[in-house]
Amino acid sequence: MKRALLPAFLGVAVLAAIPFAIRNSFFLHVCILVLMWTVLGAAWNVLGGFAGQVSFGHAALFAVGAYTTIILYLKGGLAPWWGIPLGGLAAALVSLPIGFLCFRLRGPYFSLATLAVAEIIKLVALNWESLTAGSVGYLITSLPPVRLFGLNVNWESKTPFYAAAGALSVVALLATGWLRGSRLGAYLVAIRENEDAAEAVGIDTVRAKVVTLALSAFLAGMGGGFYAFYFRYVDPDAVAGIGLSMEMVFIAVVGGLGTVGGPLIGAVFLTAVAEAVRGRFQTGHLIFYGLFMMLVIRFMPEGIWGRVRRLTARAAAGA
Amino acid sequence: MALLEVQGLTRHFGGVSAVSDLSFSVNEGEIVGLIGPNGSGKTTVFNLVTGFLRPLSGAIRLDGQSVVGMRPHAVARRGIARTFQIVQPFPGLSALENVTLAAFLRHPARRDAEAAAALVLGRVGLGDRKKEIASRLTLMDQKRLEVAKALATRPRLLLLDEPMGGLNATEVDDASDLVRQIRASGVTVVLVEHVMKAIMRISDRVVVMNQGEKIAEGRPERVVEEPAVLAAYFGKHVA
Amino acid sequence: METLAQSLVSGVLTGALYAMIGIGLTVVFGVMRIINLAHGEMVMLGMFGAYWGQRLWRLDPFVSLLVWAPLMFVFGALLYRFLLRKIIPGGELNSLLYTAGLSLLVANLALFAWTGDYRTIALSYGVTPVRPFGIAIAIPLAVAFVLAILITLALGLFLSRTDLGRAIRATSQNSEAAVLMGIDVERVAIVTFGLGTALAGAAGVLLAPSLYLYPTVGELLIVKCFVVVVLGGLGSVPGAIAGGILLGVAESLGAVYVSGAYKDGIGFVLFLAVLLYRPSGLFGAGK
């Protein structure tokens, strides 16, 4: 953990400096996307990379966070900076019965179950109109006036959103780093390697998985809350679709399963591809996501960051 | 009071009685052998006692307290540890990491757990192979690792499921010595085994099962001469 | 009473097609132990094959089956031989993720090529339903049903009477023993994957006149397909048939008696229920 401290400080410093160095609004927007996807990728990675439980339904948790935040603001007047953590909390709570249901299953059966649960939640979002406004969705037309350090926050500028996204990413990466070094993290490795043996040596595998899912859901939910805050529009197609679930998987896998930095690398890669392709194909970036997913699994299953770490470890050992 | 009491234990699979009204007890400090022909239900008994399976009926008590219905990790916490017939390591991790995970049960802090794990590895004879990846160890060493993992949970009772399977004569002797050392350190042992030489040498008592039921019990030399036991292994016309 | 009979009949007809899709997936799982997440896209390709066949060459969809089924077989065989074969040794998780990527790729290539507009196939004989015993049955669906039965019967004969079919069943039951018995397991795998893909494509062709067609329909179909195979037990062909019919009927009855909007959800709930209470399937082929 100590060795990671210096690059971490540098990283945060660079992060903080960017909006002052580069004023281009579009560039900041892209950075915000990268940061948001980092949070989502890290959320998925906690469950999929560390615990080895592949979920195809994480969009549902994202959606719970998004709806919670936007509903609390539009109907309850609660400002989004309170709504976002509450969105995370709501997602974590929802994840408890989901985990209770799905963790009885292992491997591909678990993955399929998460798919089914996510589709059910999307159906509920579409049809429970009194709560979610159905396919019409919710729209934020104006954000509350706020004074920070004596200045009015300018919601027209990207900077406040960038700051929020940055803060959330730091939280997500710190949480992942903590998990990796903790006893729970070690338990998750054990569960991934041999679940029966883990039970036999006294590891409460169900509790480990449920706690991990709750952490993963909290991060995904906060990502959803941020989405509501930044994009200001939430409807079932935007936040509960399976495409979103797959993008989260993609970031974590391509970046590097079970690593801390992987989601960031995956997010940078994903956003770069999406932007490069945006002019020519509209949602065509998904074509490349699928293609890269296949390429990574075939040639680099440990992900980009996983491969980099393996190469540097080998170089360090050789030198 | 016996350390382990099993009474009226019953478990079916589909239409077959895997274990039927089984009762026996194990006293603290004993090494008890559980023998019987293939398919007599011995591993099922282990699975029932350690919580991997639920009994249809019957009682299982450790130190007078029931462990029926508890999940395996809770049973381990109570003090019953087991090894598996086919070794179940954490294959991609080192021997030390394997045992440390088990040691966490009694030593929440990583450094303490690692230290305890190193000690246990030394006791089973793997001290110099701590950093080896589990899947690359020899069979004998994997079996030692299996025992080390169980011992690291500081059990009162250790259930060994066919530990000698696949070992040559020297290795069987080494394994038998290890079992005796484990008992000497204060752990009660129940061992399922087919290697008769080992059972005869190290068991204080033997329980014989056939088709899910107990058919004999007592000192090893006497039990193997009982007609019911001979019939179970060799068929009815031998005695 | 009429509504009940009507729902049951619709349910069985649609169910047979679901069954066919499920058989394709389950047969692949039985032999290779992988769950092909791109299976829904194979159905979609069949659907669009039928559509373009009619649009471009005025081919009746049911006739175009003769073209598309063999083509899909070859496509599946090539997919396995050149893409999937190297992935399978990496474990079931890797295979799952790989086929998920493939699914994304194929669906979005189709979306790019054909846009997301809903399309339909208009058949002259599709307009007026026949009414045996007062129950309305759309002719295209009826034809699809009959063809699906015939194809399934043919498949059954293939699996039980031919050497290759028996080799497939043997490998499905015990791949190690199959190798020892001299079965060319690689050849079995290629043929099985081709077969599974052909079945999916054929089901797509048969369903095309009866549904709205759009490139991302695979998303919905794959989940229904899982319901079918899990209901019947992964790896079991008779199970898939039963599971398919069960799902078709449950959806049909559910749409009428519970709620039209949540119709698709019935399958998901059923799926979860089976996964939790009888994970080896209602007919227990084992996992």
B239 band by pLDDT with thresholds 50, 70 and 90: very low
Q: Work out whether strand B16-26 and strand A147-148 pair parallel, antiparallel, or are unpaired.
A: unpaired
List, for residues C147-178, the tens digit of each pLDDT value: 999 999 999 999 999 989 999 988 888 888 88
Q: Does B135 touch chain A (CB under 8 A)?
A: no
Which residues in chain A touch residue B82, judged by CB atoms under 8 angstroms apart?
200
Chain C residue with the nearest C-alpha to that of A243: C104
From the list A127, A246, A284, the residue facing C100 with the nearest CB is: A246
Mean pLDDT of C198-215: 93
From the list C87, C223, C287, the residue facing A119 with the nearest CB is: C223
Where is A38: in which H helix or E strand?
helix A25-45
**pTM, full prediction:** 0.87
Touching subunits of C (3+ CB pairs, under 8 Å) are: A
Task: List the one residue out of A214, A210, A194 whose CA is nearest residue A103.
Answer: A210
Q: Does A199 touch chain B (CB under 8 A)?
A: yes
CB C27 within 8 A of CB C192: yes
CATH of the domain at B227: 3.40.50.300
Min Cα separation A181/chain B (Å):
10
Min Cα separation B136/chain A (Å):
15
* Residue C249 C-beta-side C-alpha neighbours within 13 Å: 11
- Judge: A112–C106 Cβ closer than 8 Å, yes or no: no
Task: Identify from A54, A56, A242, A297 which residue to disrupt to test chain C contact, counting C C-beta atoms within 10 A and taking the largest count.
Answer: A297
d(CA A310, CA B3): 50
Written as six digits, the tokens of B16 are: 């077959």
- Judge: A113–C275 Cβ closer than 8 Å, yes or no: yes
**Is residue B86 included in any domain, yes or no?**
no
**Is residue B53 included in any domain, yes or no?**
yes
Helix, strand or coil, per DSSP, at residue C108:
helix
> Looking at this predicted complex, what is its ipTM?
0.90
- Judge: A294–C101 Cβ closer than 8 Å, yes or no: yes
A282 band by pLDDT with thresholds 50, 70 and 90: low
Task: List the one residue out of A187, A261, A262, A224 whose CA is nearest residue A70.
Answer: A224
**Touching B: A residues 125-144, CB under 8 Å:** none
Written as six digits, the tokens of C104 are: 């994304």
**Is residue B230 included in any domain, yes or no?**
yes
pLDDT over 90 percentage in chain B: 77
**Is residue B179 included in any domain, yes or no?**
no
Chain A residue with the nearest C-alpha to that of B106: A202
Tally of domains in chain B: 1
From the list A186, A193, A205, the residue facing B91 with the nearest CB is: A193
Written as six digits, the tokens of C157 are: 């004969």
Q: Does A312 touch chain B (CB under 8 A)?
A: no
Q: Ramachandran region of residue A77, left (φ > 0), alpha (ψ -120 to 50) or beta?
A: left
What pLDDT is recorded for position C287?
35
Domain that residue B202 falls in? 1-69+192-239
Q: Which residues have CB under 8 Å from B66's CB, separation 6+? A: B59, B60
Touching subunits of B (3+ CB pairs, under 8 Å) are: A
- Judge: B76–A197 Cβ closer than 8 Å, yes or no: no
Mean pLDDT of C201-225: 90
Mean pLDDT of A247-276: 91
Q: Which residues have CB under 8 Å from A120's CB, separation 6+? A: C265, C268, C269, C272
Phi, psi angles (nearest 5°) of residue B67: -115, 10
- The owner of tokens 């041999």 is A194
List, for residues A60-101, the tens digit of each pLDDT value: 999 999 999 999 999 988 888 899 999 999 999 999 999 988
Written as six digits, the tokens of A197 are: 């043996």
Q: Does A200 touch chain B (CB under 8 A)?
A: yes
Domains identified in chain C and CATH numbers:
2-277 (1.10.3470)
- Judge: A202–B105 Cβ closer than 8 Å, yes or no: yes
Q: Does B208 touch chain A (CB under 8 A)?
A: no
What pLDDT is recorded for position C257?
78
What pLDDT is recorded for position A25?
83
**Is residue B13 included in any domain, yes or no?**
yes
List, for residues B105-142, the tens digit of each pLDDT value: 999 999 999 999 999 999 999 999 999 999 999 999 99
What pLDDT is recorded for position C285?
42
Which residues in chain C touch residue A242, judged by CB atoms under 8 angstroms apart?
219
- Judge: B102–A204 Cβ closer than 8 Å, yes or no: no
Average predicted confidence (pLDDT) for chain B: 92
A254 band by pLDDT with thresholds 50, 70 and 90: very high
